[in-house]
Amino acid sequence: MTSTTVHLAVLDTMADWEVGHLAAHLRHLGGQSPVGGFTLATVAARPGPVRTMGGLTVLPDLVLADLDPAGSAMLVLPGSQTWTDPEVAGPFVDAARAHLAAGVPVAAVCGATWALAAAGLLDDVRHTSNDPGFLASSGYAGGERYVHEPAVVDGDVVTATGIDPVHFAMAVFRRLGAHPAERIDSYGRLYADHDPAGYFELESA
């Protein structure tokens, strides 16, 4: 993997909080100076502003038609209220399939895991989501590989529940190698375990 650009899919009703930790800490993991070598770019299905579930307006950096897996370190698919709509999900699922075929990882959270499941992209990998019954409604064949964890990494596929943005971010950081493992551990100690020791570890690193 030579690219250092992580592409974050943005679509209407995107769940802001699910990717908040990832977006904020991809480059800054403690302290104020950038420590990671990765940058974030937003990608939408078409030009024009996108309105998130929280009401924020996002102007995407590029559109899916211009997204080349060779220039991507990872494609991140956040949850939204529209992933069960084939017209909305289809272009993003096609991009995910192209990334995986090129050996570029894909990270999906909440409703985006449903879309990947419906497309058969979770059938052969360990994965998680909001609930096994939720994914089963997609009609996919990978139910036996469901793992009851907040985030799961299996090869090039990262999946997560929509209620644990910290562990999702940590899984992405680990898969990318974006930060030293001990700093990711300290990050989890602070934000997931609510242990102040994690803060001092990050600040002193």
- Check: CATH 3.40.50.880 for 5-180? yes
> pLDDT tens digits for the chain (205 residues)?
478 999 999 999 999 999 999 999 998 776 555 556 899 999 999 999 999 999 999 999 999 999 999 999 999 999 999 999 999 999 999 999 999 999 999 999 999 999 999 999 999 999 999 999 999 999 999 999 999 999 999 999 999 999 999 999 999 999 999 999 999 999 999 999 999 999 999 988 7
Q: Which residues of 153-187 are buried (b: 16+ CB within 10 A; e: fewer)?
A: bbebbbbbbbebbbbbbbbbbbbbebbeeebbebb
Backbone phi, then psi, for 87, in 5-degree steps? Answer: -65, -35
Measuring CA to CA, which residue among 136, 139, 137 is closest to residue 119? Answer: 139
Alpha-carbon dihedral sign for residues 179, 181, 187, 188: positive
Domain boundaries, the chain: 5-180
Please name which of 148, 132, 152, 150 lies closest in space to residue 140, comparing C-alpha atoms.
132
In the chain, alpha helices (H) = 20-25, 86-101, 111-118, 132-136, 165-176, 181-191, 197-204
